[in-house]
Structure 1
Amino acid sequence: MEKIVILTGAGISAESGLGTFRDEGGLWSRHPIEDVATPEGFARDPALVQGFYNARRVQAARAQPNAAHRALARLQRNWPGEVVIVTQNVDSLHEAGGAQGVIHMHGTLAGALCAACGHRWPAPDEMAVGEPCPACTRPTARPDVVWFGEMPYHMDEIYDHLAGASIFAAIGTSGQVYPAAAFVHEAIAAGARTVELNLEPSAGVSSFDETVFGPATQVVPAWVDGLLGQR
């Protein structure tokens, strides 16, 4: 059975109202990345960082999955082989759209992490500065998201999936953030057919066998229809 490995980025959630790094006027445009998405930024101004992620958590909780999320869940249900979804997104829209076993390589807004002992627990809607860890009681709670300069989660598992992929698809990702930007090369080494589905060409577009450009809510369902129609 052919195994499909799918990497999704911010572009798949943009039409659900969740902005990307490059959107003008969105949350990300109001703060330099180094202030709100690095361990150093958190150490300098934890109130700014907690407030930023509290706002993102509220925004994500209000968002609804779109046709692209639902199409990938449909592919999981109907494809005769395994369909693995790896996401760079910290929202839960894949799961809300019906997907199973989503690998969140950059963590999730719904989670809290103790910077001292590593304990994880469900994040409150509003996380305060100095929030105590339920396990060690130290006031070191932070969002359970991977910041720049930190190692993404589940990398061994992801590389194992890429090594067994027959088809690799990158959807709504810029191709500029590593290690995810190199996943296409891992898939090529495994002999996979590769496809990029994006609003516009990514930085790594030349590495893909096939490219489809347009809004995710249009191109992803059409791609899924094509795959399922080939069965």
Structure 2
Amino acid sequence: MTSGDTVALDDPVGESLRGHHAALARRLGRAATYLPGVATFSAVSADPDAADWADLAQLLGGGEFADMFSCPATPPPDWAPVFALEGRQLIWPAGTRPAQAQTATGTDVVELGPADVPAILELVERTQPGPFWPRTHELGTYLGIGADGRLVAMAGERLRPPGWTEISAVCTAPEARGQGHAARLLNTLVARILARGERPFLHVAEANTGALALYERLGFTTRKHVTFRGFRTP
């Protein structure tokens, strides 16, 4: 599959769990989910039957959260809805590159690792960019910008369907906003992803108009509208 194929983006969680993130997956039959502490995203087959949902429920356990991300399939009636959120999937246009003047270079930009997890989780708690757990950084490369000894901005790689890398966890501390940190980190990640022959994509909540405007200004375009949904297993 080449970086120009978008079909993998119709099931980004399942494609990631079956491919690049297979080592971080738990599987049973045609159901899959991430290891605890990595992510809560789960996937079933494209045409799930009762056995698929039963397998996913067994993987997760009774009364547990199943984040179905953008999966359009409807689980059985005894799966209690937890949330539904309207959003968009955006992609980086083929054949274009980010503005080099806006990439993040310099000593203030660091690649984050296991030792940075406490700082990452603190920033996530302050900014609420979306789900992030103690092992989420294992999904890909996360970059950060520090100021006065504290992590103030971050962005990284999450889902990895064939030919694509999702940019996620884009966040900036309130006291550091307005300095272009998010744009520099995004452009740097875009450049890195393109350099390895893949294309960037991302997801954003429809109500997050500020983030949507930033992504579009940098060059991302809407591929489709999606609904993010979560359920509680019986």
Q: Which has the higher strand share?
A: 2
Higher relative contact order (CA 8 A, sep 6+): 2
Q: TM-score range by the shorter chain?
A: under 0.3
TM-score between both structures, scaled by the size of structure 2: 0.26
Q: Which has the higher helix share?
A: 1
TM-score between both structures, scaled by the size of structure 1: 0.27
